[in-house]
Structure 1
Amino acid sequence: MTAHAVSDLPPFRPRPPWLTGDLQTLRNFLLRPRIDLRPWPGERLWLPVSGGDQLAASLHARDWLGEQPLVVLIHGLSGCEDSVYVRASARFWLSLGHPVLRLNLRGSQPSRPRCRGHYHGGRSEDPYAALDALLSRERAAARQGLVLVGYSLGGNVLIKLVAEAGRRLPVRAAASVSAPIDLEATSQRFHAPRNRVYLRWLLGLLKREATAPPAELSDAERQAIAQARTVREFDDRFIAPRFGFDGAAGYYRDCSGLRFLPDVETPLIALHADDDPWIPDAAYAEAARVGNRNVRVHLTHGGGHVGFHAIDDTQPWHDRAIHAFMGEVG
């Protein structure tokens, strides 16, 4: 199924030996490729959000602001600005002459030194506040506008951000890559027996991230985090009560990107692979039926979760797809 697809985009074909969804997903973890950004040194920025916290960000090629759109990259769950997929995308866009901002969510490892709070899959007010602050400081960035790219959970946050505040920011285009736009369905898939190794790995990362100093946690919250045996329990016992959701089910219902797609008023492309081991593709079939002319959905045969390692280019296919999308929407 491909709906409202990018017309000139070649089909995705996986690069051997990464021929399955799991191998596509794991390639970056197994190889740990070195992505060199030294030709475009980054400047550390601290961008204010609510409650006195600040988000860490790396701004590359400040001198190019106003000449080309600023590409803003938002990482996924337990990731950060140094995740391989973020660095690879940064190199891609910088090589094309775009300034780039690698934005860290609240409580992620780079942001944690100045964050007592934490992010979640619907906390879109944080990137909005951070980008609003950036545009106040760097007025040249508004001249060519922003291109927002979110990966995995960051893609879900991005969809909600664009739906709620896209017109209040100079967003020219946006893209999500492997976003869990149906959080309930994603939770069910992720907790399937086949994913138990993934689950154990991710839960450990989440616990360390949430409790790293100077996180401000009550004794009850620390106990809830420590006792969580699954990601759903982590969400149900820590995330949901902390942010006022009616349990994990309420959090998933209220924050899933799928419910926000009808309200998107800026061009957005949602990229997903049909063999993503964590996120089922049924929500993308539903997204394609939303009928919002601003939203394009592209489901590939193969690609895994934020993988898209293709046979025809060493650059991840999703970066080239987003660039093609930008060329279409102008």
Structure 2
Amino acid sequence: MRNTLRRPWHPLPAGQALAFPMDDGSGDSLAGTLHRPPDPATDRPLVLLIHGLAGSEDSPYIRAAAGAALSHGHAVLRLNLRGAGPFVGRTRQRYHAGRTADVRAVLAHLARDLPDVAAAGVVVVGYSLAGNMVLKLMGEGEALPPVVRAAVAVSAPIDLSATSRRFLRPRNRPYHLWLLRQMKAETLATPAEPGSAEAGRQAAVRRARTIYAFDNDYVAPANGWRDAEEYYRVNSARRFMSAITRPTLVIHALDDPWIAPEPYLDFDWAAHPALLPLIVTKGGHVGFHAAQENGGAILGGGWLDRCLVRFLETLA
């Protein structure tokens, strides 16, 4: 029997594999794939696509967005966060919802080493966890690199604590457990030296039964925070959004099963003209299924990628 739930692949033209060494003394690198359009336009910014939790540059929504941007003349970089994609099990540290320093390092590499593709600037696009990261990046004031022209955040958990609590709802249990398994696998893929602090934290990862416990016993101590609540408070995008001054499209669906709607509904969008909220009633989490002409449905692409392209057109 054919598997009708198989995720779409979204074929892309061949790209250039890149590695971005981090300058924090860890020896870690981030990996990505750069695609140049067949007919490049010098006035169109590079589109930097960043995946969500337990994703990679090959997540279907990343590949779909890459195809849409390429077809409209934009160069595209599909980036893997630290410890994701080709570097699972090959880094000393891992990404988290607020690790904007890694994105800034990649942007610095692009501006310095690939000036031709970054000549018209960069539009940073983040999905889910990376959506929170991108909004935080955009609101970090003078730390935001000048090469960034604009940003897009899709289904971002702008209140990390509220999102973690929402995962505990009974209806979310299947996805919660699946996601926790993926997070554990990514983390435990890097062997820890016996008796080290990391070995102790990895033991806590094995014991974790919820994402909150994972964040509390692994992410927080591994990055210098007291507990999960401090990690959430310091890194939630909501506290940075009022400082955003460059064009930023925020796409979110109020029926997202994993992200509470209140942080979006309570935010004073009118007081922050650089933020363009596209908040709809239905769409799920990075879903936004679009109807085909024959009445079928497509996954990824469709409405969400048309919104991305329209936003990019406003920057030309």
Shift of 1:327: 3.0
Counterpart secondary structure, 2:249? strand
Which of 306, 309, 316 is the aligned partner of 1:320? 306
Shift of 1:62: 7.3
Which of 2, 19, 22 is the aligned partner of 1:46? 19
Letter in 1 for 2:258: W
| Structure 2 Cα separation of the partners of residues 131 and 223 of structure 1 | 35
Q: Which position in structure 1 is the counterpart of 2:243? A: 263
Matches within 5 A, 1:99-114: 99-112=75-88, 114=90
Q: Give the number of equivalent residue pairs.
A: 301
Contact 2:158 2:263 in 1 (8 A): yes
Report sequence identity in percent.
44
Counterpart secondary structure, 2:139? helix
| Structure 2 Cα separation of the partners of residues 67 and 269 of structure 1 | 20
Q: Which position in structure 2 is the counterpart of 1:177? A: 154
TM-score under structure 2 length normalisation: 0.89
Q: Judging changes above 3 Å, is the alpha-carbon distance between structure 1 residues 260 and 215 closer, same or farther for their aligned structure 2 residues?
A: farther
Q: Which position in structure 2 is the counterpart of 1:205? A: 182
| Structure 1 Cα separation of the partners of residues 4 and 20 of structure 2 | 29
Q: Which position in structure 1 is the counterpart of 2:133? A: 157
Q: Which position in structure 2 is the counterpart of 1:9? A: none
Q: Which position in structure 1 is the counterpart of 2:280? A: 300
Matches within 5 A, 1:188-203: 188-203=165-180
Q: Which position in structure 1 is the counterpart of 2:264? A: 284
Q: Judging changes above 3 Å, is the alpha-carbon distance between structure 1 residues 329 and 98 closer, same or farther for their aligned structure 2 residues?
A: closer
CA deviations on 1:181-212 (whole Å, 9 max, x unpaired) are: 01011111111111111111000000000111
Contact 1:275 1:302 in 2 (8 A): yes
| Structure 2 Cα separation of the partners of residues 168 and 292 of structure 1 | 20
Matches within 5 A, 1:70-85: 70-85=46-61
Shift of 1:326: 3.0
2:64 matches 1:88: yes
Q: Which position in structure 2 is the counterpart of 1:8? A: none
Counterpart secondary structure, 2:175? helix
Letter in 1 for 2:188: T
Letter in 2 for 1:326: L
More helix by share: 1
Q: Which position in structure 1 is the counterpart of 2:202? A: 222
Contact 2:135 2:237 in 1 (8 A): yes
Letter in 1 for 2:19: W
| Structure 2 Cα separation of the partners of residues 126 and 65 of structure 1 | 28
Letter in 2 for 1:59: L
Shift of 1:244: 1.3
Shift of 1:286: 2.4
Shift of 1:222: 1.3
Shift of 1:30: 2.5
| Structure 2 Cα separation of the partners of residues 193 and 256 of structure 1 | 24
Counterpart secondary structure, 1:142? coil
| Structure 1 Cα separation of the partners of residues 33 and 45 of structure 2 | 16
Q: Judging changes above 3 Å, is the alpha-carbon distance between structure 1 residues 47 and 135 closer, same or farther for their aligned structure 2 residues?
A: same
Letter in 1 for 2:14: P
| Structure 1 Cα separation of the partners of residues 192 and 282 of structure 2 | 38
Q: Which runs of 5+ in 2 are unaligned?
A: none
Provide the alpha-carbon RMSD of the alignment: 2.1
TM-score under structure 1 length normalisation: 0.86
Contact 2:31 2:86 in 1 (8 A): yes
| Structure 2 Cα separation of the partners of residues 147 and 324 of structure 1 | 13
Higher relative contact order (CA 8 A, sep 6+): 1
Contact 1:116 1:215 in 2 (8 A): no
| Structure 2 Cα separation of the partners of residues 44 and 29 of structure 1 | 32
Which of 109, 124, 127 is the aligned partner of 1:148? 124
Contact 1:181 1:283 in 2 (8 A): yes
